[in-house]
Amino acid sequence: MRGVAAAALVLGLLAAAPALTDRTAVLNWLFLVLLHVGIAQSWNLLAGFGGQVNLGHAAFFGLGAVVARVLWLGGMGVPWALLGGVAAAGAAGLVIGAPSLRLRGAYFAIGTLALAEILRITFANAMPNVSALTAAQLGAYTLAPRYYLALLLAAGATAAAWGFSTSRFGLGLAAIREDEDVAAAIGIPTFRQKLLALLASTVFAGLAGGVFAYYHLSFYPSFAFSPIWTFDALLITFLGGVGTVWGPVAGAAFFVLVREALALRLAELHLLIFGALFVAVVVALPGGLMQAGAALGRRRGPRARGPAPPPRPRDTSTRSPC
């Protein structure tokens, strides 16, 4: 109950932010955090809860962005344009997931990686020009609606993650993540569950793309497919704690803060630092900030509650040497 109250309080404060401050720098920063919560949380839905590594998250983000942008600038209402982007991203998810999620191993990771890069190259060729707002649209531009959309995105994706962490569906996903053979043996429809989780993941990624397209004054369509979006999703999720509800939220706040601080001075170097940080977290601290914080809390006193117990040791019959 305390968790729900805290979440409601944060949500209330964030919803009131445009009324509390008229400093656009603060709102822009909050917007970026919320957008990155959406990007990372949507990745976390499938990879964190279901264990399927998607290396082409940029494909779904990019499709959402470009389709929503084209529809919006073509004169369609914003909700319909966003819906169009979401539909395109979800459809692409089904196209790549239907054959590759039937199989185990690396096929899904390879397929999504290929999809993102191919879409990037294809869109760079097919839509080489920058997409910019017209003077009339610039005149009507206000930050508040963009901000609320991003809040809706972040809250929706996090609510979905919360649902995954408590529901029967989510427990099935966790079983698939831990051991797919066992999951199948106890009657979980593994392929259907994975595909549904992918659909949820791509729908929120497409919405994140749409929010990005609605926010930015100008961008190259191929930029929305850049592998950097996938990397941001992975980094934020792993920094915060993969497979947790609040990890991507904490990770996004930390990531945007550090990136804005570093990018002013060290344009290329901040990518290097984040890359090294990501590899270090994957190798050394797979639980991310949430686990580190929990460990710290446990050391301080008995009142602190850890979010998740450490992973159980697996059966050792298939272990490799050493």
Partner 1 sequence: MIVVQNVVFGALVGGLYGVAAVGLALVFGVLKMLNVSHGELIMLGGYLSVWLFSLWGLDPFASLAVSGPVLFLVGAALYLGLFGRLVPLHDEEKLKNSILIGFGLALILQVLAILAWTADERAIPTAYAGQVWRVGPVVVPLARLAAFAVGFVALGGLHLFLNRTDPGRAIRATAEDWQAAALMGVSVRRTYLYAFGLGSALAGVSGTLVSIADAISPSIGLPWTLKALIVVVLAGLGSIFGTFVAGVGLGVAESLSAFFLGGVYREVVGLVLFLVVLAVRPSGLFGRA
Which whole-number Å values give the CA distances from 316 to 270, 319, 320, in the listed order?
40, 5, 9
Nearest alpha carbon to residue 207 among 64, 79, 87: 64
Note whether 122 binds partner 1 by CB under 8 A. yes
* 34 versus 92: smaller Cβ distance to partner 1: 92
Which of positions 153-192 make contact with partner 1 (CB under 8 A)?
180
- Which of 126, 217, 261, 304: binder of partner 1 (CB under 8 A)? 126
Query: Among 103-111, 129-137, 191-199, 249-257, which window interacts with partner 1 (CB under 8 A)?
Result: 103-111
Interface size with partner 1, residues (CB under 8 A): 49
Is residue 113 a contact residue for partner 1 (CB under 8 A)? yes
> Would you count residue 275 as binding partner 1 (CB under 8 A)?
yes
- For residue 120, give every residue at least 6 positions away whose Cβ sits within 8 Å of its Cβ, in sequence order, or none: 58, 62, 222, 225, 226, 227
Q: Is position 312 an interface residue for partner 1 (rule: CB under 8 A)?
A: no
> Among 11, 15, 70, 109, which residue interacts with partner 1 (rule: CB under 8 A)?
109
CB atoms within 10 A of CB 82: 25
Question: What is the closest distance, in whole angstroms, from the C-beta atom of residue 287 to partner 1 in the complex?
Answer: 13
Amino acid at 184: A
Pick one of 45, 68, 157, 234: the residue that binds partner 1 (CB under 8 A). Answer: 234
Nearer to partner 1, 55 or 149 (CB): 55
CB neighbour list of residue 315: distance below 8 Å, 6 or more residues apart: none
Residues 6+ apart with CB under 8 A from 220: 124, 128, 129, 130, 131
Cα 201 to Cα 92: distance, rounded to the nearest angstrom: 12
Shortest Å distance, C-beta 100 to partner 1 = 6
Selected from 8, 10, 26, 110, the binder of partner 1 by CB under 8 A is 110
* Contact pick of 18, 111, 241, 243 for partner 1 (by CB under 8 A): 111
SS3 for 70? helix
| Pattern 61-100, partner 1, x by CB under 8 A | ----------------------------------xx--xx
**Which residues, in sequence order, are CB contacts of 285 under 8 Å at separation 6+?**
291, 292
Query: Within its chain, how far is the Cα of 164 from the centroid?
Result: 15
Q: Are 96 and 119 contacting, i.e. CB atoms less than 8 angstroms apart?
A: no
Residue 227 makes contact with partner 1 by CB under 8 A: yes
How far are the Cα atoms of 41, 54, 242, 286 from residue 283, in angstroms, in the given order? 21, 19, 13, 7
Joined tokens for residue 260? 């804005």
CB of 275 to partner 1, least distance (A): 4
Task: Give the number of residues written for the chain.
Answer: 322
Binding residues (CB under 8 A) for partner 1: these are 51, 53, 55, 95-96, 99-100, 103-107, 109-111, 113-115, 117-118, 121-122, 125-126, 180, 227, 230-231, 234-235, 238, 268-269, 271-272, 274-276, 278-279, 282-283, 286, 314, 318-322
